Every structure is written in C-alpha cells, then in structure tokens.
Structure 1
Amino acid sequence: MNENIKSQEEIKKIIIDIEQKWPVDRWIVNGIHIWPLVRIKIYTHYLSKLLSVANGNNSNNVASAKKNAWTEKIKKSYSIISFLYFLMFFFLRLKKKKIVFFGAHFHRVLQNGVYFNRFYDSMIEAHNLKEDVYVIEYRKVNPLNFNQQAIIDLEKYLGAYRLIIKMLNKFKSKENVYALEGYKEFYDYLDLKMLGIELESLINWSLKINSLKRFFNILFKKIEPQKIVFLGYYGLDDLTAAVVSANEMQIKTVDLQHGTQINNMAFNSWTKFPESGFNTVVKEFWTWDEESKKAIDLWASKTSNTTAKTIGQPYVSYWLNKRKEDFSKPNKILYTLHLSKIEEMLGSDLIFVIKNINYQWILRLHPRNSIAKEDLENFLEINKIKDKVIIQSPIEMPLPKVLSESVLHVTNYSGALIEARMMNIPSVIINKLGLEIYEQYIDNELVHFIDNESLDFCTSFQTLIRKIETRKSVDGTYKVFNPLLNDFNII
C-alpha cells in the first residue's frame, strides 16, 4: 500500500476502495462488527502521516496515571468479595435517569469556579435537567464540576469490574466465533502490520468489548435511560463497549458533534454497512450545521435506523444568550493552534504578519496540546513577538467569548471555524489541508483561504484585515437544544 498520502481525498479513496472489494459489512468477531474499528484505525494512521503528528484518537484505551493509581489501590485494598460489594453498592445507589452523557475533562472549561462541560452542561442548565441526567467521566475527574451529584467516575467502578473479570477469566475457557470472509486477503493487501488488526488482535479486542459490555448492561438496566450521548463515539474501548451495550438494549445512541466532521471517515462516506447499521456505531448524529448533517445523510439515509439532525452548537448558543451586552469593538485576532511543532504553526510569514498588523494575537492551545508553554514563550521571545501575543489554554476562557472579542479567527483546520461562522466571525484558513476539509464553507465573506506557503501571503493577509474591518457585526437570538426533545428548529 502506498504510504505517500498527500490529501484527505486519497485516504477516503483507499477506504472506499476497500469497502468495494471486500464484504466489510459482514466481518464479525464474537458478535462484534469489526469494520468500524479497522476503518478508523486506517483513517487515523494515514491522517497522522498527513498531519505529520501522531493522532490522539486510537482504538486502544490510553492508560492514564489516574487509571493505574485506581487499579493499584483496588488491588492492594480489596479481595474479590470486596470488589463485588463495592460494585453492588454502586449499582444499588443508581437512580433512573432520562439521559446518560459520556464526556471527559478536556470537554470542560472553568466557569464561575467550577468545571463546566461546554456541550452537555449548556443544555442541562438551559433546560433545568440536573435531575434527569448522569454524566459519566471516562478520563480523570476534575474537582468542583457543575452538577457534581450527576458525575460518575467511570474508571473508579470499571477498574474494579476489570479486576473481577480478570480473576474470573482465569477459570473460563474461550470459544471464538468469527466470520471474516476475505479478511486475510485484505490484511495482506493493506500491509500495515503496526495497526494491530491481525486476527489474534481482533479476537482479543472483541473479547474485551464483550467483557466490558456486561458492565454497561447492568449500568443501563439500572438507569433505564432514553438516550446515551457521546462526544466522539469512537477511539476508546470503554466507549465502544457502551455503544454495543446500548445498541443491543435498543437504547438510542447519539454522537454529539464536538469538532470537524466533514471528511472525517468516522462520520462520513460509509459505502457498505449492515441494513440496521454496525453495532459499534451510534444510531443518531447531532450536528452543528446543515453541511455536516447532509454529509452524514448521504449514507445514513440508506440504513433503516441511522439518522442525523442539526442542533447547533449548544455552548455557543448558551454563552451568547447569557453574556452581558457589550458593544465594544473587537480588537484581537484569534489563532487556534493544532497538534504540531511550533515552527510549523508559526512560520516566518505569519510572524511577519503578527509583527506588522496592529492587533493583539491570541494563540489558543489545542485541548490535547503537548507543547510546553515555556517553549512557546521562548519561541515568541526569540522572534520578537512576545509582546504582541497572549498564550491561552482552552480551559481558561470560553471560546465564544474569545471569538466575540476577535475581528478574525485564523486556523489551519480547527473545528472552531464552524463555531466562528455561527457567531458571524470571519475565519481565514491558512493551510491546504484546511482548504480541503472546509472547501464547501469558503464564501470569501465569513470563510476565507490564504495559503501560508504562497509568496503573497503577507500582502493577502493585510488586504483581508482591511476588508473585514469594514464589516458590520450581526447579532441574533440563539436556541439551546433540549436533548429530551425529538424536534428542534434553529433560528
């Protein structure tokens, strides 16, 4: 397989070609549809090469320090009987709720002294749903969360469950059943041994999903939710097990958009699937805009039970409705950084622009940023632009607030472009990959493109600034979607 990938379109073609050549919709291991796992692994592998950075979404659980700490604590402090009592007490305390939300600490922002899930808590507060929901945190749990009584620390209880299963599995034989017509031919054709998708790995993965699924069967049976909602249904085994469990129990499974979906192969361009969908994929997609919905509809409409609906961006609507009237003129430029090297994000031409345009720049770090703040500050100091720049963590300031203070949003390929567009804030894409992702959004009014590798980048950027300085701002009313309702009309 050619590793020299130059565009998202090439990745898409590789995946679609595979779907046409092999019966991927019938690949099942121990009752688990495995093509979504394999498809997304292929996609993220090639995308990471395209972005020249390792993608944070992989299909294996990332063992956090917190997870290890809990596991070790439980191992040392409890016997298997104690584990069982620990879990029984947890399950007995659960109450019936209408919705179970799955989220993580990086979906939260510090607001009024508490950590606020930008997507879920916006809807919970706007529609007074505190008593109707559980919010399951699947990574670390921040202190002082909004609606703290609704928080379930997944690793705390799933960690105990895993240890019980590990002990019991020592006395249990495994019989594997799988249907993988043509899989060996596909595997040899793909020639990507490092992806961990050989038969043995798929069997181990399916056994793990089925084992974890039983935990969620008990959980959902106790809570009896109408809907299970994810902010990214794929990428972690715990979430996959929850999706499979809910699908089997015929509870509505939902993915709420939290970033770019156009051209993302976890959401788009599925060409072969079971008539009732894969059991490892959610059945409903809540999108921010019509463009994303239409892309999903192209394939979802061919299934019997998969749908998409446009709900807007709950936090944008929530924040704009709550903000105090402030008609001060925006005086900043926001640059949403991506996962890459500093030098790639801040090339010489962009540094020249920062130096020569009379605006304060906000460099907003990516939620999964791995760049040390000190390194970025040193880079700014060396290039003599430190006084023109503010480095901002995504947790310390609401994105809608930063956007409302900005005359322009600069991005390579951030999903913040869609949020800026909703708020009538102009964005400029400066990366060819971003152009490929958002090509249908470009209108030269709210969404622009200037190639950061072009010779006239600096001149074009300055021309754009002069153009947008003459724009008139437009404000409006915004509805926050109610997740308990089936219909929603955006104004």
Structure 2
Amino acid sequence: MDSRSQIRDIILDVERNCNVNNWKVNDIHLWPYIRIHLFFNLIDEIEIGKTTSSYKPGNKKNSKYIYRGFKKKIRKTLECINSVFFFFNWIKNIPNRQTVFVSSNSFRVNYRNKRFNRFFDVLVEDEQAYSNYMYLEYGSTLTDQYKHENVFKFGFALKGFLCTHIRKKTKLSLDGYDYFLSYLERYEYCKKFSNKFSKAYISQWAKTIFIPKVIFFKKILRRISPKELIILCYYTEDIYPLVAAANNLGVSTIEMQHGPQNKYHLAYGSWYAIPKTGYDILPRIYWCWDDFSANEIKEWADSNSIYSVEKYGNPWVDYWNKKSKSYISKDFILYTLQPLPIPLDVLLHNKILNIIKTSKKKWFIRLHPRQWNDKEKIKAILEKHSLLDTVNVDVDNATVDPLPLLLANCSLHITYSSGSALEASYFGVKTIFIDKMGLSYYPHLFRNKLAFLADFNSDDFTTTLEDYFKAID
C-alpha cells in the first residue's frame, strides 16, 4: 500500500469510529480543520520521518536576557498600537465589490514587470463578469502586484483588530474528543499529532484564535458586500475563518483548483462524513480544471446539495493557448521541483544529477514558488556538481518564465508528484514521475499514456529513466 492510501485509510477509519461532527464552536464544525492537519501531519510522519532538533533552551535568566525580553515586549506593544491605527484606516478604505479574489503571492508570477496572479488576473482581463472585483491577499508584504490598487492585504489589519477585540462568550462542544485521541493511539504515526492537538489546545485555538478571526472577516465582508469569494487554497490558518464567515453570511464561496484534486488529497477528496448542514469551513463550490478532478470531488459532493462542482478549465493555461508560444529554447527537459515534504536530497540526489550531467538535452530546473528561500541552496548543490554554469542547465529562466510557455516548448516533463503534470497534459507533454505517488494522484494520465513511472527508490531507476528518454525521443 502506498503512503497516501495508508493516510486516507487512517482518516476514514477515524471518521467511521469517532463522533467527529460533535466538535463545534458557535455551531461551526471543527473536524475539517482537525482532519486536514492530521492529513498533513501524517504526510510528514510517514513520508519524511520524524525530525528532532539539537537545540536545548537551557535556563538563562541573567540580566542580558531579561533586558532582551523587556525590549521585545516594548517592540510588540508598539507594533500592536501601530496595527490598531492601521486597522481602522484600512477598513475605512475597503470598497464595495461583487467579487473578492482570495490569494497569496505564491500564486503570482513575474509577468509584465509586475507580480501577476496567474489564475485571477487573466480572468479580470478577459472576462467582463469580473470587472467589479478586489483582492484579499494573505501572507504578503509586497507592493508590486499587477493592478495593485485593487489589492488589499489583510495581515496587519487582522493583527490590529485582534489587539482591540474583546472576547465574547463562545459555545464550545468537544464531546468525544478524548476518545478520538485515545483511538489515534492504535496508529504509531499519530503520536506527534495527538500531543499537539490536545483537547486543551483545540479549545484554546477555537475560542481565542478562530472565532475572533471569524468576527474580523464578518466585519470585512459586511463592508465589502460581495456576492462571491473565489479562493486559491482554502486550507490555511487565516482562510478557514474567512470561508466560515462568508458561508455564514450567505456569500458564495468558490475554491479554484490549483493542483491535483483526488480522493487521496484529504482537503478535497473523500469527505464522506459531512453532515446535512455542511461544514462551514469548506467552500461550497469547486472550480475544476478537468473531468477527472471534477468527478473525484463529485463522488462525495453529489450526496449533499450544499456543495457543487463545475468544470471551468485552467485560466492560466487557457490564456496561453490563445497566445504566441515562441520561446528562447525548444526540445528541452523540464524538471519541476517541489517544496517540503519532499526533501532536496531526494529531488537533487546524485542519481538525478548524474543523469542531468550525461544528458544530451538541455534541462530546465524549475523551483516551486515556496522554494524561493531555498534558491541559493539549490544553486549551491548544482554548482557543487559542476552543473550551474553549464549551457545544459537553466534555473533562472525555468523558474521565472510562465509554466505554460515552458510546457509548450519542452519535449518532456519530469517531477516527483507535482500538479504541473496536469498542466503538461493539456499541452500533450508526457510526464515521468519519480515517485509512486503519481500512480495514485494521476491514474488518468497513466491510462492515457501521458505519464510514466521511474521509481526513484528502485535499483533500476537510472536505467528505466534512460529507457524512457530513448522511447519518447
């Protein structure tokens, strides 16, 4: 059994045997939040293994550390005061809009000398339906976004609101949560999760973090009065409460596909325990790229009229299909990297680097947007193997140029398990997966001979990969 099947089986077993829908705060079900964290924790434990830190804090209480602590408290107090003033000014300038696009900088690319949202900005350009819009962005302090006058970053405003917010009484139910934690003990991989997501932790998070954020977003949404939220990746700490607030106010919540969606991705697939009233944390509508993704979500969504699935296509790919695809290079191999949980020592293992070194083709090595902080580390690995300054390897253009343009001009795509494989298929480009996860996540690509497996962990990995090169050539 592969790891994602194992993880899915564990979570579905928990849902069958624990009263997961009993856990609510102010009538908002908490299970989606807990489930998705359990999903990613199991990925971390099963696919990466446990990590330990060599750091031991010690017991330093001398005057130097007391002074530093005092300075830190003053800095935090001043920041809190500044954020409060920022919040009142920020909310005063929030406009009324029909459509709110919810995104982050990781979905932007360098295009037209700006940070261009590859999924949303193309809709704004081509669709009159989205002429009355704004962005709510999370996790970004940049100011060079395309049409930045429509971009409202809420992080610092949220901090200001939380500094002034007076907590109200909350209605919390965690009936059966202790049994859930004890039930997890039968699985060796769940200990780390159980230790962190204790009853006390979930109670504190729900009352002091989640509900105040829901109140903040309700306040914002009442001011904007939107008809719809279109969201890229709903399963982040600040977007859970935003989705819950929008659903509670009757605003349409639409999750736009940004990668693989299937029964093994437990943020999207296999939601078989949804109550009739639905989960407020989950978006109601799913915008899918293709039939396979849509059908995977329909498998559970069709049983509850609250949820629906629409196949609207991939806006970024559709945009480039209408444009000229001339490029600086052709017939190269595109290798798309991925961030954690896949470690760099796998992505850039000697076996792979040696194949690149002996290849007759040029290789474009593309970093994932969440790997920007690792860029110099990745380049150092390539330089160590005398690959960085060769004409055969391109990292910079491969990373900053639009992915559809690269896919339209490459001869082959290689990846561990990236959703880029889906986009490659739209250009008729074959993908070689170097991990068995590809078999689970993209079975339709294998059926259609658009995907092949060269298992990195197998002894014949190099031979298999080279055989594919010859066959595809």
TM-score normalised according to structure 2 size: 0.85
Greater displacement, 310-319 / 123-132: 123-132
1:75 to 80, 85, 106: 80
Assess, with a 3 A threshold, how the Cα gap between structure 1 residues 393 and 225 changes in structure 2: closer, same or farther. farther
Residue 214 of structure 1 pairs with residue 215 of structure 2: yes
2: CA distance, partners of 1:54 / 1:291: 34
Assess, with a 3 A threshold, how the Cα gap between structure 1 residues 180 and 372 changes in structure 2: closer, same or farther. closer
SS in 2 for 1:216: helix
2: CA distance, partners of 1:100 / 1:137: 10
SS in 1 for 2:371: coil
CA positional deviation for 1:54: 9.2
The residue number in structure 1 matching 2:180 is: 186
The residue number in structure 1 matching 2:109 is: 109
The residue number in structure 2 matching 1:369 is: 371
2: CA distance, partners of 1:88 / 1:343: 47
Answer yes or no: is the 8 Å Cα contact 1:32–1:206 preserved in 2: no
Which amino acid is the alignment partner of residue 235 of structure 1? T
Assess, with a 3 A threshold, how the Cα gap between structure 1 residues 157 and 423 changes in structure 2: closer, same or farther. same
1: CA distance, partners of 2:39 / 2:355: 34
The residue number in structure 2 matching 1:34 is: 30
1: CA distance, partners of 2:102 / 2:151: 10
Q: Tell me, which stretches of 5 or more residues in structure 2 are unaligned?
A: 52-72
Answer yes or no: is the 8 Å Cα contact 1:413–1:433 preserved in 2: yes
SS in 2 for 1:401: helix
The residue number in structure 1 matching 2:291 is: 290
CA positional deviation for 1:70: 11
Assess, with a 3 A threshold, how the Cα gap between structure 1 residues 228 and 393 changes in structure 2: closer, same or farther. farther
Answer yes or no: is the 8 Å Cα contact 1:352–1:458 preserved in 2: no
1: CA distance, partners of 2:75 / 2:299: 44
Q: What does the per-residue CA deviation read over 1:55-74, in whole Å, with 9 as the maximum and x for residues that have no partner? A: 9xxxxxxxxxxxx9997654
2: CA distance, partners of 1:352 / 1:444: 30
1: CA distance, partners of 2:133 / 2:278: 27
2:432 to 420, 428, 431: 428
Residue 301 of structure 1 pairs with residue 273 of structure 2: no
Assess, with a 3 A threshold, how the Cα gap between structure 1 residues 70 and 394 changes in structure 2: closer, same or farther. farther
Which amino acid is the alignment partner of residue 437 of structure 1? Y
Q: What does the per-residue CA deviation read over 1:260-307, in whole Å, with 9 as the maximum and x for residues that have no partner? A: 222110110111111131111111111111111111111111112101
2: CA distance, partners of 1:154 / 1:52: 33
Answer yes or no: is the 8 Å Cα contact 1:97–1:131 preserved in 2: no
2: CA distance, partners of 1:53 / 1:95: 47
The residue number in structure 1 matching 2:251 is: 251
SS in 2 for 1:448: strand
Assess, with a 3 A threshold, how the Cα gap between structure 1 residues 19 and 432 changes in structure 2: closer, same or farther. same
2: CA distance, partners of 1:163 / 1:393: 43
- The alignment yields a C-alpha RMSD, in angstroms, of 2.7
Assess, with a 3 A threshold, how the Cα gap between structure 1 residues 275 and 222 changes in structure 2: closer, same or farther. same
CA positional deviation for 1:391: 1.8
2: CA distance, partners of 1:9 / 1:283: 26
Greater displacement, 224-233 / 411-420: 224-233
SS in 2 for 1:316: helix
CA positional deviation for 1:371: 6.3
Aligned pair count? 440
SS in 2 for 1:218: helix
Assess, with a 3 A threshold, how the Cα gap between structure 1 residues 70 and 22 changes in structure 2: closer, same or farther. same
The residue number in structure 2 matching 1:437 is: 441
1: CA distance, partners of 2:77 / 2:102: 24
Answer yes or no: is the 8 Å Cα contact 1:114–1:146 preserved in 2: yes
Residue 390 of structure 1 pairs with residue 394 of structure 2: yes
CA positional deviation for 1:457: 3.1
Assess, with a 3 A threshold, how the Cα gap between structure 1 residues 282 and 41 changes in structure 2: closer, same or farther. same
Within 5 A, what are the aligned runs for 1:110-129?
110-128=110-128
Answer yes or no: is the 8 Å Cα contact 1:110–1:395 preserved in 2: no
2: CA distance, partners of 1:260 / 1:417: 9
CA positional deviation for 1:333: 0.5
Q: Tell me, which stretches of 5 or more residues in structure 1 are unaligned?
A: 56-67, 470-491
TM-score normalised according to structure 1 size: 0.83
1: CA distance, partners of 2:17 / 2:400: 48
The residue number in structure 1 matching 2:204 is: 204
SS in 2 for 1:385: coil
The residue number in structure 2 matching 1:8 is: 4
SS in 1 for 2:423: helix
Answer yes or no: is the 8 Å Cα contact 1:429–1:449 preserved in 2: yes
Assess, with a 3 A threshold, how the Cα gap between structure 1 residues 53 and 415 changes in structure 2: closer, same or farther. farther
Greater displacement, 328-337 / 68-77: 68-77
Q: What does the per-residue CA deviation read over 1:7-28, in whole Å, with 9 as the maximum and x for residues that have no partner? A: 1101000111111112212321
Assess, with a 3 A threshold, how the Cα gap between structure 1 residues 72 and 437 changes in structure 2: closer, same or farther. farther
The residue number in structure 2 matching 1:65 is: none
